[in-house]
Amino acid sequence: MFLEPTFRWYGPEDPVPLNFIPQTGATGIVTSLHYVPYGKLWTEEAILERRKMIEAAGLTWSVVESLPVHEDIKTGAPAAKQYIEVYKQSLRNLGKVGPRVITYNFMPVLDWVRTDLHHRMPDGSTTLFFDEVQFAAFELFILKREGAEADYSADTLHKADEYFRGLSDHESFRLRRSIIDNFPGFKGVTLEDVRDMLARYRGFTRERLEENLYNFLSEVVPAARDAGCIMVIHPDDPPRSILGLPRIFSTIDDIQKLLGMVDDPANGVCFCAGSFSARRDNDVVRMFKSCADRVGFMHLRSTQIEGGNFYEASHLGGRVDMYELVKAACEEQIRRRKAGRSDWRIPIRPDHGPDIMDDLLKPPCPNPGYGGLGRMRGLAELRGLELGIMRSHYPAELN
């Protein structure tokens, strides 16, 4: 395959065994040391141990996702400096023995957010779903965030109230868990934790978050470059403000701003098509073309929007024009190769798959959206699409 096909693997605890992954058609692995707490050093030994494990299965460790950014860095707390130093040291260690593409995000408090992790689709599969009314009910009546009413229309407030009153205790518990307690390496998050974290962002503006991102990047990008690595930022998911917090990587303008902040090839983008697609005014293919030469990694997936809600569509369905996107990615690789860039191959992974077939009979996957079969179907579709594009448009490049 022309683009580098990878599969995310959550480490030895992942119910998808590492040695099954070559059967999906992937050659690369995307993983993190999820057992290392946020803000702690990734040692050379730990990185090497993981790398050997991956290579023993006949695979390559292509991408780190993620090297997490401690909240103190995002809030610019006094300890930020020290956490940035640790981050730089982890990068140096990665540069010695690990993969060169390093993913991170700069979303305050919560990473990606959905309200239902098992939304039933007409074909019987289940998918990840974000429902605005349910999220409002969570903020208003479960988290009880001060001032949350101001973020919603009267109609949504009314619907959220009705919805919440109809919930059983169990359903309310499930909603809470779906929203706040789903992140690998960050399990067991409580409402109190979220309230504490939110308190630290009280009165926080977008400008302040940008300033903290700048302070972070101006230190870590040179360290990454010297280590032979590239930092790639994951978009906000969903691509807009939630919980009254600023989000800064959601639109085409945000992409330009980020790249200009530290104008260095080691300051790159993890182009998550699915995250960007959950916003009506985002033209995903145009966004890709606007930053193609700085894309170090791609998440290929798509969403469908319905009113204020959205759900994860199939990899070739939904709002993303996957044909045009994959074609643009192939063309970017051709350009890189012609320019003699050694990093010309772009790792791609089928992001979030639906739960399908036998996976529906198993206990729910501890990593929602990361069952084996749905993603395997996605990767197979994407590889087929890519082969079709390459054979019909650029056959000579395949030699």
Position 42 contacts ligand DNO (CB under 6 A):
no
Q: Residue 68 carries which DSSP code?
A: P
Q: What is the CA radius of gyration of the chain?
A: 20
Q: How far is the CB of 66 from ligand DNO (least distance, A)?
A: 3
- Supply the minimum distance, in Å, between the C-beta of residue 327 and ligand DNO: 23
Q: Residue 251 interacts with ligand DNO (CB under 6 A)?
A: no
Of 18, 29, 31, 65, the one binding ligand DNO by CB under 6 A:
65
**Does 112 engage in binding with ligand DNO (CB under 6 A)?**
yes
Reading the block at residue 160, the tokens are 């959220």
| Beta carbon of residue 18, minimum distance to ligand DNO (angstroms, whole number) | 18
Q: 111: burial class by Cβ within 10 Å (0-12, 13-18, 19+)?
A: middle
Q: Which one of 14, 351, 355, 359 is the catalytic residue?
A: 351
Is 229 known to be catalytic?
no
d(Cα 164, Cα 151) in Å, to the nearest integer? Answer: 17
Given 1, 46, 92, 111, the residue binding ligand DNO (CB under 6 A): 111
66 binds ligand DNO (CB under 6 A): yes
Maximum distance among all Cα pairs of the chain, rounded to whole angstroms: 62
Cα distance between residue 258 and residue 235, in whole Å = 11
With b for 16 or more beta-carbon neighbours within 10 A and e for fewer, the 38-49 pattern comes to ebeebebebbee
- State which of positions 351-380 bind ligand DNO (CB under 6 A): 351-352, 369
**125 contacts ligand DNO (rule: CB under 6 A):** no
Stretch that binds ligand DNO, among 98-106, 196-204, 248-256, 383-391 (CB under 6 A): 98-106
Can you tell me which residue has the tokens 């009546």?
A: 141
Neighbours of 384 (CB within 10 A): 12
Residue window 160-199: x/- pattern of binding to ligand DNO, with contact defined by CB under 6 A? ----------------------------------------
Are 311 and 119 in contact, with CB atoms under 8 Å apart? yes
Is 272 a residue of the active site?
yes
Strands 116-120 and 230-234: unpaired
Alpha carbon distance 251, 285 (integer Å)? 12
Interface with ligand DNO includes 103 (CB under 6 A)? yes
104: contact with ligand DNO by CB under 6 A? yes
Amino acid at site 67: L
Whether the bond into 66 is cis, omega within 30 of 0: yes
The yes or no reply on residue 234 touching ligand DNO (CB under 6 A) is yes
Whether 351 is a known active-site residue: answer yes
With contacts defined by CB under 6 A, how many residues of the chain interact with ligand DNO?
Answer: 13
Question: Residue 391 CB, nearest distance to ligand DNO (Å)?
Answer: 30
Residues that bind ligand DNO (CB under 6 A): 65-66, 103-105, 111-112, 234, 272, 299, 351-352, 369
